[in-house]
Chains A and B, each alone.
Chain A
Amino acid sequence: MVPTAYYILLSAALFAIGVLGVLVRRNALVVFMSVELMLNAANLAFVAFARERLSVDGQVLVFFVITVAAAEVAVGLALLVAIFRSKRTADVDEVSVLKG
């Protein structure tokens, strides 16, 4: 059996890639994908621990995360479309009208 530590390392790597993606990429769509990556990194950690501790709690929580992520993506994509319609771009740095 693959040790849990491997799963956790993979999960941490995925999460770090997601964070970097959110911070450095300017395309809103890629940012979203990076967010999804972080969510799935968390999911991976959940199921890994759930398997080790022989508990279903983590696995149940993963389903919640997946549904919430789906809802979030729906809202986020709608926002993205709206921003693109008004700005003709998906660059998040172009959307800075709320600066002080």
Chain B
Amino acid sequence: MLTWLIWFIPLLPFVGFLLNLFVIRQERQAGMLASATVVASFVLALVATVLLAGLPEAERRVQSMAWEWIATGSLSVPFAIMFDPLTAVMVLLVTGVGALIHIYSIGYMHGDPRVVRYFAYLNLFVTMMLFLVMANNLLLLFLGWEGVGLCSFLLIGFWFERKEAAAAAVKAFVVNRIGDAAFILAMLAVFSNFGTLNFYGMEINGRWVPGFLERMPEIFGLRFGPDWQPIAIATGISFLLLIGATGKSAQLPLFVWLPDAMAGPTPVSALIHAATMVTAGVYMMARTEQLFAASPATQSWVVWIGTFTAFIAATAAIAQWDIKRVLAYSTVSQLGFMVAACGMGAYAAAIFHLLTHGIFKALLFLGSGSVIHGTHETQDMRKMGGLRTAMPTTFWTYMVGAAALAGVVPLAGFWSKDEILAHAAAYGYWPQLAILFLTSLLTAFYMGRQVALIFYGEQRDNHYHPHESGQTMRVPLIILAIGAIVAGFMNIPTLFSGMPAAHLLTDWLQPVLHEEAGKFNLVVAILATAGAVGMGYLGWWAYTSNAAKVKVGGLDPAYRYTGDIWDGMQEAWYVDLAYNRMVVAPFRSFSATLANVFDKQGIDGMVNGVGRVFTWAATEVRMLQNGYVRTYALVFTMGAVLVLSFMLFVTR
């Protein structure tokens, strides 16, 4: 039954996409249909998960092939999806959070002239994301990978009349291409070494084809490259996959597209750029865990990239004024936590943090959307302040989300972040632990700052009258806030011996990730939560007591303590500027040379030259035709004389 049931999970949103694209023309119908298909997918995913849990642990992987997608030579790629514990939690996150964001969008996008197209894109995105997490081979995963990239492009540039939105869409697409190119190379390497792209063994046309993840020992010890510096095959493949993940999951050095992606509608930021798409890289690394585990070299790269990204993005998040850019850098930072966890081998912790982060970051983004909506498209936090009385629901749910992100006991973010820190402590990643701990303190600080700037103090700009958002926007906020409170309990550590319902998620993922539950580290937990509360309070205190100094064009109150460092943080340590100087500007000037010099003088010169030759020749030749009949007669006679003399004297 599962084999056909799981097909409906991605196909329902796809039907919604087709209907929205071709049939539906009314805003209300589009929103209802789009939301209904995703809610139905979520229900089906719940049913499928329950059915999967009913199977014995060793058999919890259902694969279903629709047709043989590509069959050329030895390459055989089935169009097949699967459902296993890891896929199950990802599907539940995508459809669950996705459904709430669809419903929220009905309220948020009300009155937009292209709202039907918006819902069509949103449905296509959910379809592609589901194919990404349900694919049983790398190529179908790549289809979803590119599909979500396309939807991300379309939705960032949804308000394409705004120049920065169009530019941000292009930027996201181009930066992701770098990672995608590495991903393609990784696929080629996997195929040339294993002859298959399937993750796990499955029956294709009555023949059992083993998957490459089960055949890892075959490449142990294989090397390539020059004699003086051989590189293990596993390192090559996993490193390429890592580059792919840095593009999609916005890690160093390719994170620059994510803050700009905030030019899209806020629900899009919540769905694509916080909760689901950007986690695809982390999911992919967890899925190909055996490949990464085979290469300690890549693993150390993974852990350091994740750690540095977490820290650098957290510092950048502190110094932003735009409400959504704070959250964007915060997302990059939290993704860094997940990637670092993957690098330490704590895949279950990474997936746990992915799930809780998906919930509370979606909550924060939707909350910020509610603020933006209620303040008439104000995004600058310097123009806000004192909004807690005007929008109480938004305020309280936002507080829950902020506390969860900061890691306050017992909200979701605390348990998942603590698991990563505890793992780092348990396996001796001390420098990384120190940086990640510092990062979690910074996280608490910038959330305290943001809450203070938005909701406390006096309203600093009186050009608008803030109002609470409507029902369709408030209900998803409340549901997500409840989720942010309770989600941590799905993988709560064993606090006392004999505690029931501990490590549910790690145990559930055990057949896929083969990981034992980590131990609870009381010292780390106490330090982290004390630090979170302290730094959160510090951030809140610093910006409520100095609220009068916050104004457009003025310096941040913290500027006098940090000085130039603040400028660096504001520009995310000039990574974007460096790219502009080193890549974009040379490319632009090269293009300008081609356009102004080579095209104008080379190509145009050639074409115009040909034209000029014919014009000149024509002016010369037209002299022959002077209109005098007697001239023609003379020429004719001379011709006749010539021909006759030729016949007479030469050819006789």
| Interfacial chain A residues near B629, Cβ < 8 Å | 92-93, 95-96
| Interfacial chain B residues near A26, Cβ < 8 Å | 630
A22 and B633 form a contact (CB under 8 A):
yes
CB distance from B449 to the nearest CB of A (A): 83
CB distance from A51 to the nearest CB of B (A): 24
A92, closest chain B residue (CB): B629
Question: In the complex, A19→B630 CA distance in Å?
Answer: 11
| Interfacial chain A residues near B622, Cβ < 8 Å | 100
B634 and A96 form a contact (CB under 8 A):
no
Give 6 A-B contacts (CB < 8 Å), ordered by A residue: A22-B633, A92-B628, A95-B629, A97-B627, A100-B622, A100-B624
Contact with A96, one of B621, B624, B628, B633 (Cβ below 8 angstroms): B628
A98 at the interface (CB under 8 A from B): yes
Question: In the complex, A98→B628 CA distance in Å?
Answer: 9
Known: A92-B630, A93-B630. A23 touches B637 (CB 8 A): yes
Sample of 12 more A-B contacts, CB < 8 Å, known A96-B628, A100-B627: A22-B630, A22-B637, A23-B633, A24-B630, A26-B630, A92-B628, A93-B630, A95-B627, A95-B629, A99-B626, A100-B625, A100-B626
- In the A-B complex, the 10 residue pairs with the smallest Cβ-Cβ separation, listed nearest first, are A99-B627, A96-B627, A100-B622, A100-B625, A92-B629, A99-B626, A98-B627, A96-B628, A22-B633, A23-B634
| Interfacial chain B residues near A99, Cβ < 8 Å | 625-628
B623 at the interface (CB under 8 A from A): yes
Question: In the complex, A19→B641 CA distance in Å?
Answer: 12
Known: A22-B633, A23-B633. A100 touches B623 (CB 8 A): yes
B614-652 Cβ-contact flags toward A at 8 Å (1 or 0): 000000011111111110011001000000000000000
- Residue from the set B629, B633, B637 with the largest chain A CB neighbour count within 10 Å: B629
B634, closest chain A residue (CB): A23
B629, closest chain A residue (CB): A92
Question: In the complex, A92→B626 CA distance in Å?
Answer: 13
- Residue from the set A26, A92, A95, A99 with the largest chain B CB neighbour count within 10 Å: A99
| Interfacial chain B residues near A19, Cβ < 8 Å | 637
* Residues of A46-100 contacting chain B, CB below 8 A: 92-93, 95-100
- Residue from the set A23, A26, A97 with the largest chain B CB neighbour count within 10 Å: A23
| Interfacial chain B residues near A93, Cβ < 8 Å | 628-630
B640, closest chain A residue (CB): A19
CB distance from B200 to the nearest CB of A (A): 81
Question: In the complex, A26→B629 CA distance in Å?
Answer: 10
| Interfacial chain B residues near A22, Cβ < 8 Å | 630, 633, 637
Question: In the complex, A100→B637 CA distance in Å?
Answer: 21
Question: In the complex, A24→B631 CA distance in Å?
Answer: 10
- Residue from the set A24, A26, A98, A100 with the largest chain B CB neighbour count within 10 Å: A100
Contact with B626, one of A24, A95, A96 (Cβ below 8 angstroms): A96
Interface size classification for chain A: 10 to 19
Question: In the complex, A26→B631 CA distance in Å?
Answer: 11
| Interfacial chain A residues near B628, Cβ < 8 Å | 92-93, 96, 99
* Residues of A16-37 contacting chain B, CB below 8 A: 19, 22-24, 26
| Interfacial chain A residues near B630, Cβ < 8 Å | 22-24, 26, 92-93
Question: In the complex, A22→B625 CA distance in Å?
Answer: 19
| Interfacial chain B residues near A100, Cβ < 8 Å | 621-627
A97, closest chain B residue (CB): B627
| Interfacial chain A residues near B637, Cβ < 8 Å | 19, 22-23
Question: In the complex, A90→B621 CA distance in Å?
Answer: 29
| Interfacial chain B residues near A24, Cβ < 8 Å | 630
| Interfacial chain B residues near A98, Cβ < 8 Å | 625, 627
| Interfacial chain A residues near B633, Cβ < 8 Å | 22-23
Question: In the complex, A26→B625 CA distance in Å?
Answer: 18
| Interfacial chain A residues near B624, Cβ < 8 Å | 100
| Interfacial chain B residues near A96, Cβ < 8 Å | 626-629
A26, closest chain B residue (CB): B630
Question: In the complex, A57→B302 CA distance in Å?
Answer: 107
CB distance from B479 to the nearest CB of A (A): 85
Question: In the complex, A96→B634 CA distance in Å?
Answer: 15
CB distance from A25 to the nearest CB of B (A): 8
A96, closest chain B residue (CB): B627
CB distance from A15 to the nearest CB of B (A): 11
CB distance from B641 to the nearest CB of A (A): 9
CB distance from A97 to the nearest CB of B (A): 6
- Residue from the set A26, A92, A95, A96 with the largest chain B CB neighbour count within 10 Å: A96
| Interfacial chain B residues near A97, Cβ < 8 Å | 627
Question: In the complex, A92→B633 CA distance in Å?
Answer: 12
Question: In the complex, A40→B618 CA distance in Å?
Answer: 41
Question: In the complex, A95→B631 CA distance in Å?
Answer: 12
B292-309 Cβ-contact flags toward A at 8 Å (1 or 0): 000000000000000000
A25, closest chain B residue (CB): B630
- Residue from the set B624, B625, B630, B634 with the largest chain A CB neighbour count within 10 Å: B630
Question: In the complex, A89→B637 CA distance in Å?
Answer: 26
Question: In the complex, A99→B622 CA distance in Å?
Answer: 8
CB distance from B621 to the nearest CB of A (A): 8
Question: In the complex, A100→B621 CA distance in Å?
Answer: 9
CB distance from B624 to the nearest CB of A (A): 7
| Interfacial chain A residues near B626, Cβ < 8 Å | 96, 99-100
- Residue from the set B623, B624, B627, B637 with the largest chain A CB neighbour count within 10 Å: B627
Question: In the complex, A40→B538 CA distance in Å?
Answer: 124
B623, closest chain A residue (CB): A100
CB distance from B588 to the nearest CB of A (A): 50
Question: In the complex, A19→B624 CA distance in Å?
Answer: 21
B622, closest chain A residue (CB): A100
Question: In the complex, A24→B634 CA distance in Å?
Answer: 9
Question: In the complex, A14→B329 CA distance in Å?
Answer: 106
Question: In the complex, A96→B628 CA distance in Å?
Answer: 5
Question: In the complex, A22→B633 CA distance in Å?
Answer: 8
CB distance from A78 to the nearest CB of B (A): 17
CB distance from A77 to the nearest CB of B (A): 16
| Interfacial chain A residues near B627, Cβ < 8 Å | 95-100
Question: In the complex, A43→B624 CA distance in Å?
Answer: 34
CB distance from A18 to the nearest CB of B (A): 11
Question: In the complex, A26→B504 CA distance in Å?
Answer: 116
CB distance from B643 to the nearest CB of A (A): 15
CB distance from B75 to the nearest CB of A (A): 67
CB distance from B65 to the nearest CB of A (A): 76
Question: In the complex, A96→B627 CA distance in Å?
Answer: 4
Question: In the complex, A66→B623 CA distance in Å?
Answer: 37
| Interfacial chain A residues near B623, Cβ < 8 Å | 100
| Interfacial chain B residues near A92, Cβ < 8 Å | 628-630
Question: In the complex, A96→B630 CA distance in Å?
Answer: 10
| Interfacial chain A residues near B625, Cβ < 8 Å | 98-100
CB distance from A37 to the nearest CB of B (A): 14
B626, closest chain A residue (CB): A99
